[in-house]
């Protein structure tokens, strides 16, 4: 029996999870939490809104995620001087170490994939992945807006 594309994608996803190994760290981070840490690391003064926009998340979801990252002592909320109601999210020393580990692990998987594909295959794989990711993001944003509009009525 020939397997479907979805079957192969699920299998590949599970196998990549094992190679990346985020769940095997001392702190069992989800992929969203790891991505949030990378976003916080990349923004000099990250607000919860900035992080939500970068990750295409609902603001309420990001607040819950920041709460969890704070429990793990990976981030801290700092009150902004010009707006006491807004928080700036910063990495703690533990968070900085977690980011270093996440970057090492993602480089490892990137190198693994690059070594398995020809240059042409890699370009094609990258372009297809980017395209699908963009389409999914657009659909998620559209569905989120439709759900919010439905609530208003």
pLDDT at 143: 66
Is 102:38 a contact under the CB 8 Å cutoff? yes
Q: Which residues partner with 80 through β-bridges?
A: 83
3-state SS, one letter per residue, for the chain = CCCCHHHHHHHHHHHHHHHHCHHHCCCCCCHHHHHHHHHHHHCCCEEHHHHHHHHCCCHHHHHHHHHHHHHCCCEEEEEECCEEEEEEEEECHHHHHHHHHHHHHHHHHHHHHHHHCCHHHHHHHHHHHHHHHHHHHHHHHHHHHHHHHHHHC
Q: Which two tokens stand for residue 129?
A: 């992945």
Q: Largest Cα–Cα distance in the chain?
A: 63
- Torsion angle of alpha carbons 122, 132, 38, 55, nearest 10°? 170
pLDDT at 82: 76
pLDDT per residue as tens, the chain (153 positions): 566 777 777 777 777 766 666 555 556 788 889 999 999 999 988 899 999 988 888 888 899 999 999 999 999 999 877 777 778 999 999 999 999 988 888 888 888 889 999 999 999 999 998 898 888 878 877 765 656 566 554
pLDDT at 90: 95
pLDDT at 92: 97
> Which residues lie closer than 8 Å to 34 by C-beta, 6 or more apart?
22, 98, 102
The model scores a pTM over 0.85: no
Q: Which two tokens stand for residue 145?
A: 């807006």
pLDDT in tens, 108-129: 888 888 999 999 999 999 999 8
């Amino acid at each position: 029996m020939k397997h479907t594309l979805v079957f192969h994608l699920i299998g590949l996803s599970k196998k990549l999870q094992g190679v990346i190994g985020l769940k095997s760290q001392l702190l069992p981070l989800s992929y969203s939490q790891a991505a949030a840490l990378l976003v916080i690391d990349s923004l000099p003064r990250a607000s919860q809104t900035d992080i939500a926009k970068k990750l295409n998340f609902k603001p309420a979801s990001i607040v819950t995620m920041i709460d969890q990252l704070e429990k793990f002592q990976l981030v801290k909320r700092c009150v902004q001087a010009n707006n006491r109601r807004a928080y700036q999210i910063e990495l703690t020393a533990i968070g900085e170490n977690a980011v270093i580990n996440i970057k090492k692990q993602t480089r490892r998987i990137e190198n693994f994939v690059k070594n398995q594909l020809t240059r042409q295959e890699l370009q094609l794989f990258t372009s297809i992945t980017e395209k699908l990711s963009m389409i999914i993001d657009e659909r998620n944003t559209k569905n989120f807006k439709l759900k919010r509009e439905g609530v208003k009525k």
